[in-house]
Chain A
Amino acid sequence: MTTHPESGGTPAAVPSFFEASSPPGQTGIKAWLLTHDHKRLALMYLWAVFFWLVLALLLGLALRVELMFIGETIMPAEIYNTVFTLHGVIMIFLFVIPAIPAIFGNFFLPIQIGADDVFFPRLNLFSWYLYMIGGAFAIVSLFTGDGFADTGWTFYVPFSVTTETNVSLTVTAAFILGMSSLLTGLNFVTTVHRMRVKNMGWMQVPLFTWSLYATAWVQILATPVVSITLVLVVLERFLNIGLFDPDRGGDPLLYQHLFWMYSHPAVYIMILPGMGVISEIIPVFSRKAIFGYKGIVVSSLAIAIAGSLVWAHHMYTSGMSDVSVFVFSLLTFIVAIPSAIKVFSWVSTMYKGSILMTPPLLLALIFIYLFSVGGLTGLVLGAAGTDIHVHDTQFVVAHFHFTMFGGTGFAFFAALHFWWPKMFGVMYHFGRAYLGASLAAIGFIFHYVPMFILGMQGMPRRYYDYLPQFETGNFLAGFGGFLLVFGIMLMFVNLWMSLIDRWRQPAEADPWGGTTLEWAVPSPPPVHNFLQEPRVLDYPYDFSEVLARAAAKDKKD
C-alpha cells in the first residue's frame, strides 16, 4: 500500500499524471502540447503511432487486395508503386523504429530506474515535435509535386534521383524522423547513466531498460550515416553532382553501402526494444527469475555491435567482390548467435515455471514463434548461395514481415496489453484480447507462409502483376491478410473500450505480480512517479515476495 508522505501514514489519493500537469499550472490542450512529463509525451506518441499504424495496415491490405487477382484489381501500376513506398516508409520510419522506444521507453524507462523523468525533458518534447513534423512532411509530399515517391523505402539511386515524383520531400521527412529518433536515444543514454537511483547497480537494471540502452547506442552510431545519405539524394536531385552516377565517374554501389550501413543496424533498432518487452513479460508470467539475466544483457550489446558489421548482406547480387560477399555472409551468421541466446533464455525461463496465462503472455509466445521463423529464414538470406536464388522475391517480403511484424509488431501488441493497466489504470476484457490475438496470429501465418513459397518459385517483390502459376498463393495470402487485419482491429477496439466509462474496470497497482519498479507505483502513476524512495531489489526478477503474497492470500481464502 502506498501512502502519501504528508498524510501522516494514512493512505491518501495522490493525483495521477492525468490530473496534474507538468510543468504545473497549464490546463487544457496546452497541458499536453507543452508538457515535459515523460508519461504524457509517451501517450502523445501512442496516439500518433496508432494513427500511422492503422493507415499503413490499410495500405498494406490494399496492396494485398491488388495482388489477389491477375491484372488490375483496384489500382493502376503507378499507384501500386506509390502505395508500397508509402506503406514501407510509414511502417519503417513512423511505426517500427519509434513505436516501442518512444511510447513504452518514454513511459517506463525512467520509472524502471527510479527516476522522475528523462534527463532532458524539453528535448523529449522537441523530439515529439520532430516526429510530428516528419509525419506531416510525409503527408504533404503525398499531395504536392508529382505525388509521393515511388522508389520503395530504400530510395535506391539512380531511380530515386531521376524519378519525377516528390522524392526530395519524402526523404526530408525521413531525415527529420531520424533526427527525432537520434535525440530520443541520446536522451535515454544520458538518463540511464545519470538518473538511476543511487543503489541500483548496472546488473540490477531491468532488461527492458537494458535493451533500450543498447538500442539507443545503435541509433546514435548509425542514424547520422543515413542522414548524410538522404542529404546526398536531395543534393543530387537539385544539383546533379553525379556522385552516384557511373556515367560521370560515380559509384551507385556506394549509395547502397551508405544506406545499409544505417539500415541494417536499424533492423536491430526495430527488434531490440521488442526483445526487451518479451524479456519482461516471460519471467513475470512464469513467476520465475529470467534464465541467464547476464546472457540477455550481453547478447543485447553483442547484437548492437555485431549487427553494425553485416550491412552488405543486402548487396550480394549488386556486384560486390567475392571476398566481400564471403566476409559479410560469415559475419551475418555470427549475428544469429545472440538472437538465439535470447530465444533459449525465454524458453528456459518458462521451463518448470508456474505459468499464468494472460493476453500479454499469449502475444509474447506468438512473438517467439514468429520471430524464430523470421530469424531462421534470415539465415537463408544470409547465406550468399541461397540468397542469390531468392533475392528480391516474395520470400524476402515474407522474411522481413515475419521479423518486423511478427517480431516487433507483436512485441508492440504484447507491450500494449502488458502495460495498459499501468498507463491508464484500467483493465481490458481478456476474452476479446485472446480472440483478437489468435485471429491475428492465424491470419498472419496464412498471409505470409504462401509468400515464402511464391518467393522460392520465383515471384519477384515490388511487382504489380504476375504469371498464372502464382495466382493461388497470392489469393490465399490476400485472404490471410483480411483475417490478420481483422484480428488486430479487434485487439485495438477491445483496448479502446476499456477506456470508456461504461465498461471501466479499475486496475490495481500490480495486477500481474511484476517485480520491477513500475509495478511499485500507483496505476496510473503520479507526476513525479515515486511517492517515496523506491526500494531496489538485489536482483530485478526476484519473485519470492510475489509468490509468498499469493500463498498467504490462498491460505486466507
Chain B
Amino acid sequence: MERAVDKTGIKIGMWIFLYSEIILFGGLFVLYAVYFHNFPGDFAVAGEELNRLFGTLNTVVLLVSSFTVAASITAVQRRRTGQAVGLLLFSLGCGLVFLINKYFEWGAKFEHGLYPNSDRLFEADPGFAIFFGLYYTITGLHGLHVIIGMVLLTVSLVMVLRGRVDHQRYALLENSGLYWHLVDLIWIYVFPLFYLVL
C-alpha cells in the first residue's frame, strides 16, 4: 500500500509548525508590550541607541532574499536547475550578510557597554535595561532562526544539486522556503518595534 505523495498534507504540517514558531515569538512580543506600557519613556530613550541604518539594511537584505528563495522554487518547477542553484546561493549569501551586519551591530553596542549584566545597564533606569534585555533576547532568538533557515536552505541546495529535488518533488525546497519567509516575517515585526516606533 504505497501512497502517492500528498503535497497538501505536507504543507498542512509545515504551516502548523510555522504557526508554533510565531506563538514562540508571540510570548516575547507580549513581554515587549507589557514593558513598553510600563516604561514608555525609558524605551524611547533606549531606542535612540539603536542604529536605524543597520536595521534598514538588514530588512532590505531579508526581503530580497525572501524574493530570491521564492524565485528558486519557481525555477525548480520550470526545470531550470542552474538558475535555482544560483538563486539559492544568492539567498544564502543574503543570510550571511544579515548575520555579519548583526555581528557588527551587536559589537558596537558591546563597545558602548550595552550588554546584559553590564555596569552601564545595571546603573541605568529600569526600563532602559529591560529594553536591552528584550533587544538581545528577541534579536538573538531571531538570529538563531536565521541560522536554522540557512541550514535548511543549504540542505535543499544540496538536494537540488543531487537531483533529489526536482520539478515533481520539491516539497523540501518549498518548506525550507516557507521557513525562510517566516524568518523574514518575524523580522518585519522586530524591526519597527525596536528601530522605528520609538
Contact (Cβ within 8 A) B34 A251: yes
Binding-face segment, A188-196, A297-305, A536-544: A188-196
Contact (Cβ within 8 A) B23 A221: yes
Whether a CB of chain B sits under 8 angstroms from the CB of A44 is no
Contact (Cβ within 8 A) A193 B9: yes
Whether a CB of chain B sits under 8 angstroms from the CB of A239 is yes
B-side contacts of A195, CB under 8 Å:
9
Contact (Cβ within 8 A) A242 B133: yes
Q: Given known contacts A248-B129, A250-B130, is B19 in contact with A220 (CB within 8 Å)?
A: yes
A225 to B22, CA, bound (A): 10
Whether a CB of chain A sits under 8 angstroms from the CB of B137 is yes
Binding-face segment, A228-236, A378-386, A547-555: A228-236
A528 to B141, CA, bound (A): 42
Q: Given known contacts A186-B17, A194-B12, A254-B31, is B130 in contact with A116 (CB within 8 Å)?
A: no
Q: How far is the CB of B123 from chain A (nearest CB, A)?
A: 11
A228 to B125, CA, bound (A): 26
User: Closest chain B residue to A219 by CB distance?
Assistant: B20
Contact (Cβ within 8 A) A220 B130: no
A-side contacts of B17, CB under 8 Å:
186
User: Closest chain B residue to A529 by CB distance?
Assistant: B1
Q: From DSSP, what is the main secondary structure of chain A's interface residues?
A: helix
Whether a CB of chain A sits under 8 angstroms from the CB of B136 is yes
Contact (Cβ within 8 A) B1 A225: no
User: Closest chain A residue to B137 by CB distance?
Assistant: A235
Contact (Cβ within 8 A) A225 B137: no
Q: How far is the CB of A292 from chain B (nearest CB, A)?
A: 30
A-side contacts of B35, CB under 8 Å:
249
A186 to B28, CA, bound (A): 23
B-side contacts of A186, CB under 8 Å:
13, 16-17, 20
B7-40 CB contacts (< 8 Å) to partner A: 8-9, 12-13, 16-17, 19-21, 23-28, 30-31, 34-35, 38-39
Whether a CB of chain B sits under 8 angstroms from the CB of A349 is no
Whether a CB of chain B sits under 8 angstroms from the CB of A513 is no
Contact (Cβ within 8 A) A182 B27: no
Q: Given known contacts A220-B16, A228-B28, A229-B27, is B1 in contact with A528 (CB within 8 Å)?
A: yes
Q: How far is the CB of B93 from chain A (nearest CB, A)?
A: 29
**Interface magnitude class on chain A:** 35 or more
Contact (Cβ within 8 A) A249 B24: no
A243 to B28, CA, bound (A): 11
Q: How far is the CB of B154 from chain A (nearest CB, A)?
A: 20
Q: Which of A182, A224, A232, A250 contacts B137 (CB 8 A)?
A: A232
Q: Given known contacts A187-B13, A249-B127, A528-B1, is B23 in contact with A243 (CB within 8 Å)?
A: no
User: Closest chain B residue to A193 by CB distance?
Assistant: B12
User: Would you mind naming 11 contact pairs between A and B with Cβ atoms under 8 Å apart?
Assistant: A186-B13, A186-B20, A190-B16, A193-B9, A221-B23, A224-B23, A228-B28, A248-B130, A249-B38, A250-B126, A251-B38
Interchain residue pairs A-B with the least CB separation, the first 9: A249-B126, A241-B133, A194-B9, A228-B27, A239-B116, A224-B23, A224-B24, A224-B20, A190-B13
Binding site for A on B (CB under 8 A): 1, 3, 6, 8-9, 12-13, 16-17, 19-21, 23-28, 30-31, 34-35, 38-39, 116-117, 125-127, 129-130, 133-134, 136-137, 141
Q: 19 additional contacts, CB 8 Å, given A186-B20, A220-B16, A240-B116?
A: A116-B3, A123-B13, A224-B21, A224-B24, A225-B24, A225-B26, A229-B27, A231-B141, A235-B137, A239-B116, A239-B136, A241-B116, A241-B130, A242-B130, A243-B130, A243-B134, A248-B129, A249-B127, A250-B130
